[in-house]
């Protein structure tokens, strides 16, 4: 027997899971396909002296995990982002949102005093909802019935069900606010990390949860600092890591996972296997079909995992000079997360183009300048920029990503240039990662950054599948720990934490099981 547990994938959830298991005394090995740890939670020096968060760029690692693993001791340094968001508009007006809901309401007053009052009421409502949701993060997901029981403890239960579970963020924002700018500024919260349109039922859940749990932070050194600190903690408990090794298949004997086989042909045995890969990749590529029932395999094949994020990484000679808030001296317009979404109609139009497999000519953008708060990631006076251009479909109606990459990049840059005219002359280096690149580079099916779409029918006890939402799988001693499990995407570490608890709960039975020794 080589190890107690093998973790497939060295992303943040895999590392968090591995660390909790190693802390409990298990002999754990992490296997990472790429030569660098972190998965999408990675900082890479793409150009000399420019270190950029190549995929995910704003970590939301839960404070409970940071404290329990003492990640600060292992070098993790986090800083607050406040203002939280900056939203410039075509008429050169702009709106800032803040960690303080009262400060946000004051900013909204410039657009509508009525909307400011409405935001105060909704923010209080969202805070209470966020507190409820937070209790569900570090543990297996409740059933929908249990969730409704929890909500019944609130006197606002009927409003929760109607506003949060049964409406779209478009409908909710139209109900609450009159200013088109205010609605535009908030609607991007409803489609965070998802391919859904703002008119999709369930986006109100994401909107309320995001507003109710405000507190964006940056990691000094980029998001890869989260993976690096977690890996250091893991090693301190005796855990071991191998990079540059690709898992070809999960070995199964009878109905038990007994280890993995690498693409090199090497076999490594273990008492349990935890996959940080997405559910489709795990079951449809790493498990031989003979070990799955036809019914289960068909359910996995039917899971929705449409990737729609185009990531653009840029090295800049100077910060963006926004027309709405002019100047290249670092200010709040640079440190905040920037959303380019001038209206709800604008966002909705892009999502419809994506639905039909077309590139949006005017994609909504989410932007972050790491170096505005953390100058360690670029040479003095220089900067990095991360851009997510939403609604660029993995599945194209015509053409392919090799030929359309430049078009998609140009569409995004043209949009941003209207708000920051100095963009193009400031670009020193640029990399564009398409949804297909996301799949090939980071191993995510269809380039979906949350592994599976975060629609209501694929969240909570439905994630990834009804009956298999508690990190266990039909294969004994095989577990899932990635974003395709509850509570979903985002660099929180919750999926890894929860999967580790499931393994530890089962460990008394696992450790006595008979497994096949290493054969190669």
Burial, 425: exposed, middle or buried (Cβ in 10 Å; 0-12, 13-18, 19+)? Answer: exposed
Rounded distance between C-alpha atoms, residue 419 and residue 340, angstroms: 9
Architecture, CATH, for domain 3-33+244-304+449-510: 3-Layer(bba) Sandwich (3.50)
Give, for all 520 residues of the chain, the pLDDT tens digit: 699 999 999 999 999 999 999 999 999 999 999 999 999 999 999 999 999 999 999 999 999 999 999 999 999 999 999 999 999 999 999 999 999 999 999 999 999 999 999 999 999 988 888 787 788 899 999 877 777 676 666 656 566 667 777 889 999 999 999 999 999 999 999 998 888 999 998 899 889 888 987 678 999 999 999 999 999 999 999 999 999 999 999 999 999 999 999 999 999 999 999 999 999 999 999 999 999 999 999 999 999 999 999 999 999 999 999 999 999 999 999 999 999 999 999 999 999 999 999 999 999 999 999 999 999 999 999 999 999 999 999 999 999 999 999 999 999 999 999 999 999 999 999 999 999 999 999 999 999 999 999 888 898 899 999 999 999 999 999 999 999 999 999 999 999 999 999 999 999 999 887 544 332 2
Q: Any residues with CB less than 8 A from the CB of 203 and at least 6 apart, and which?
A: 168, 169, 170, 190, 191, 194, 196, 197
The segment(s) of the chain belonging to CATH 3.50.50.60 are: 3-33+244-304+449-510
The segment(s) of the chain belonging to CATH 3.30.519 are: 306-442
Residue 54: per-residue pLDDT: 97
Closest-CA residue to 461 (of 209, 135, 141): 141
Whole-model pTM: value is 0.95
**Read out DSSP for 347-388?**
HHHHHHHHHTT---SS--EEEE-HHHH-GGGSSTT-EEEEEE
Fold of 306-442: Guanine Nucleotide Dissociation Inhibitor; domain 2 (3.30.519)
**Read out DSSP for 41-90?**
S-EEEEETTEEEE-S--S----HHHHHHTTTTTTT--EEE-SS-EEEE-T
Q: For 152-306, where are the alpha helices, taking DSSP H only?
A: 157-159, 169-176, 180-190, 203-212, 224-236, 279-285, 294-301
Rounded distance between C-alpha atoms, residue 385 and residue 387, angstroms: 7
Structure tokens at 499: 């999967």
Report the 10 Å Cβ neighbour count for 245. Answer: 17
């Amino acid at each position: 027997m080589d190890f107690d547990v093998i973790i497939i994938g060295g992303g943040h959830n895999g590392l968090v899971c591995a660390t909790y298991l190693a802390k409990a005394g298990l002999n754990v090995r992490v296997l990472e396909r790429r030569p660098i740890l972190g998965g999408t939670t990675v900082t890479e020096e793409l150009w000399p002296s420019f270190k950029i968060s190549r995929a995910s760029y704003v970590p939301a690692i839960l404070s409970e995990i940071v404290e329990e693993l003492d990640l600060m001791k292992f070098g993790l340094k986090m800083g607050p982002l406040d203002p939280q968001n900056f939203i410039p508009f075509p008429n050169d007006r702009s709106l800032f949102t803040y960690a303080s809901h009262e400060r946000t309401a004051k900013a909204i007053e410039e657009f509508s005093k009525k909307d400011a009052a409405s935001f105060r009421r909704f923010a209080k409502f969202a805070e209470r909802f966020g507190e409820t949701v937070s209790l569900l993060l570090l543990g297996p997901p409740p059933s929908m019935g249990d969730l409704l029981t929890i909500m019944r403890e609130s006197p606002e239960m009927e409003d929760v069900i109607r506003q949060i579970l049964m409406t779209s963020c478009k409908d909710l924002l139209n109900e609450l606010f009159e200013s088109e700018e205010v609605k535009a500024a908030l609607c991007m919260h409803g489609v965070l990390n998802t391919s859904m349109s703002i008119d999709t039922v369930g986006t109100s859940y994401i909107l309320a949860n995001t507003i109710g749990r405000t507190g964006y932070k940056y990691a000094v050194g980029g998001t890869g600092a989260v993976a690096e600190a977690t890996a250091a903690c893991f090693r301190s408990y005796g855990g071991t890591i191998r990079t540059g090794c690709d898992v070809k298949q999960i070995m199964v004997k009878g109905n038990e996972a007994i280890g993995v086989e690498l693409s090199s042909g090497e076999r490594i045995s273990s008492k349990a296997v935890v996959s940080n890969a997405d559910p489709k990749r795990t079951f449809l590529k790493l498990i031989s079909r003979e070990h799955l029932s036809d019914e289960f395999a068909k359910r996995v094949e039917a899971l929705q995992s449409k990737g729609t994020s185009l990531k653009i990484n840029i090295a800049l000679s100077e910060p963006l000079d926004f027309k709405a808030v002019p100047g290249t001296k670092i200010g709040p317009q640079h440190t905040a997360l920037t959303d380019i979404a001038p209206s709800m109609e604008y966002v909705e139009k892009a999502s419809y183009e994506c639905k039909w497999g077309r590139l949006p000519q005017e994609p909504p953008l989410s932007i972050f300048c790491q170096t505005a708060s953390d100058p360690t990631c670029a040479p003095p006076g220089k900067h990095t920029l991360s851009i997510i251009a939403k609604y660029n479909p993995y599945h194209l109606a015509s053409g392919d990503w090799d030929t359309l990459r430049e078009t998609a990049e140009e569409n995004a840059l043209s949009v941003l240039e209207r708000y920051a005219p100095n963009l193009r002359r400031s670009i020193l280096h640029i990399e564009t990662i398409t949804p297909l690149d996301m799949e090939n580079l980071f191993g995510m099916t269809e380039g979906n950054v949350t592994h599976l779409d975060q629609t209501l029918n694929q969240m909570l006890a439905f994630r990834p599948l009804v009956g298999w939402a508690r990190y266990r799988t039909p294969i004994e001693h095989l577990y899932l720990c990635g974003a395709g499990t509850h509570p979903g995407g985002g660099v929180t570490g919750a999926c890894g934490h929860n999967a580790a608890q499931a393994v530890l709960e089962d460990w008394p039975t696992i450790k006595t099981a008979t497994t096949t020794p290493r054969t190669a």
